Amino acid sequence: MRRIFSSVVLGLGAVLVAITAVSAQNPGGSEEGKKMKNPVPTSAASVAAGQAAFTKNCRFCHGNDAKGNGAMAPKDTHPSDLTDAKWDRGSTDGEIFLVLRDGAGPDFKMKGLKGRMTDTDMWNVVNYLRSVGPKK
């Protein structure tokens, strides 16, 4: 009985890992993200809220200035410079939101923020990144 239970638990774990791997944003963006619309209008209040959320959750790896130079980035990682002209994982608001929510694959060096931030907070971060990143 114990072996069956262990096998079921291991099998479910493998399925969850596979599902998570599929949902991570890989280079090139995603069709799902391209279709998403930002429900939070850009405003000074939204950008300020996004900057606060970025500072709390993202600056450790991406740096205070979002240039990918955070002092606490895991060893051998290269966090993206979010102020440059190229967004490797998609440039639409929806694609940026999905990276925040689901993380960046394929090896998940960037963990998703789902469950640690609300959707509204993540959309505010998108608006903040738009204010410091490449212009549309």
- Give residue 6's pLDDT: 52
- Give residue 25's pLDDT: 67
- In the chain, which residues have pLDDT < 50? 5, 8-9, 12-22
CATH number at residue 91: 1.10.760.10
Report CA torsion sign: 120, 123, 129, 135: negative
Going by C-alpha positions, the residue among 34, 65, 80, 73 that lies closest to residue 131 is 65
* Alpha-helical runs (H) found in 24-78: 31-35, 44-57, 59-62
- Give residue 8's pLDDT: 46
- Give residue 124's pLDDT: 98
Q: Encode burial over 63-100: b for 16+ CB neighbours within 10 A, e otherwise.
A: beebebebeebeeeeebbbbeeeebebbbbbbbbbbbb
Report the predicted TM-score, pTM, of the whole model to 2 decimal places: 0.78
- Give residue 20's pLDDT: 40
Number of domains in the chain: 1
- Give residue 24's pLDDT: 63
**Range of 107's domain?**
2-132
Going by C-alpha positions, the residue among 77, 81, 56 that lies closest to residue 132 is 81
